[in-house]
Amino acid sequence: MGGRRSSLDRMSLLRQPLLLLARSSRVKGLVSSMPVSAGIVRSYVPGEATEDAVRATAQLVDDHLRVSLDYLGEDTLDADQAEATVQAYLDALATLSAHKLTRSAEVSVKLSAVGQAIPHHGQKLALENARTICRAARNAGTTVTLDMEDHTTTDATLATLRELRKDFPETGAVLQAYLHRTEGDCRALAYEGSRVRLCKGAYDEPAEVAFQSRLEVDKSYVRCLKVLLAGQGYPMIATHDPRMIKIASSLASRNGRDPGSYEFQMLYGIRPDEQRRLAAAGETVRVYVPYGSEWYGYLMRRLAERPQNLTFFVRSLVSKK
């Protein structure tokens, strides 16, 4: 389809540069000097401390929502930093437990934050670190979901998932509909008890491995939804897209699924009214709540999804309020 570019297309031209900036350490240094309280950051991240995250969790749970807490950080090449991340998760789990929130709140973990990218032994270290978090989550009465990162890590992350599930079958997986391979991965993971979060995917991926247009990604998302909702597992439908939510709801009822046999997931601060509307309609809805000081990469991915927010971002950067 040729012709004039829609404003949506023009906006999506900004996606790739923003995702490149997400990996720039120079820009990261500048932007990270903004306090987390700065307008745009605060709209996506409730704070830096465990207490901020647990306070946000309690409020969401009061509103009949569930939560997955994400301690921000990724791509560490430092084993001590990976260990500090593990400790942060143990602290979060203990605090959730002390506040009796673990029936409603789990944690999401990026393997690259617990050492996966460290040369030579990173894969083994990340598995051991993830195992420590899974054990603490189990003891606290809750679960872990392994976030999915860029496509170079997909096989390694799925291999770690398989290892973890031997002892912790409740561990959640994430699959990204923009990857060509994902419909097949959905088939492989649609077995009984298997918790699978389906998202569109947030990284800048090449055409060899990923669909490039919105339409193709959406079509793939629907194909994956069909597989997961017809399967035996527990689908976690992570999207803010009204069309995908509608299609998921009708596929769920067509497959005779009750609301408790799957859940919707959205990010903290995005479409909060829709989160509450779905919960009030009897759906299970989980909000992904990121916290901590390493919010840069996360924020840039959110801006890449919605470059309209760039103006607010630049304004808060300049005023540094």
Site residues (vs ligand FAD, CB under 6 A): 147-148, 174, 176, 197, 199-203, 238-241, 265-267, 270-271, 288, 302, 305-306
Closer CB to ligand FAD, residue 136 or residue 237? 237
Rank residues 94 and 274 by Cβ distance to ligand FAD and give the closer one.
Answer: 274
Give the list of residues 6+ apart from residue 110 with CB closer than 8 angstroms, or none: 70, 73, 74, 146, 147, 149
Residues contacting 320, CB < 8 A, separation 6+? 33, 34, 35, 38
Residues in the chain: 321
Catalytic (active site) residue 147: yes
Nearer to ligand FAD among residue 82 and residue 173 (C-beta) = 173
Marked catalytic residue, from 131, 165, 195, 197? 197
Who contacts 151 (Cβ-Cβ below 8 Å, separation ≥6)? Answer: 179, 203, 205, 209, 210
DSSP secondary structure code for residue 307 in this structure: G
**Minimum separation from the CB atom of position 102 to ligand FAD (A):** 18
Per the annotation, the verdict on 197 as an active-site residue is yes
Give CA separation, 115 vs 20, 86, 91, 203, 311, in Å: 22, 10, 19, 19, 35
Q: How far is the CB of 268 from ligand FAD (least distance, A)?
A: 9
CA separation for the pair 196, 18 (Å, rounded): 28
Is the Cβ of residue 98 or residue 215 nearer to ligand FAD in the bound state?
215
Q: How far is the CB of 302 from ligand FAD (least distance, A)?
A: 4
Q: Considering the complex, what minimum distance in angstroms separates the CB of residue 214 from ligand FAD? A: 7
Closest approach of Cβ 158 to ligand FAD, in Å? 13
The CA distance from 15 to 1, in Å, is 20
Judged by CB, which is closer to ligand FAD: 139, or 308? 308
Q: Are 245 and 264 in contact (CB under 8 A)?
A: yes
What does the block give as tokens for 118? 């460290």
Residues catalogued as catalytic? 147, 197
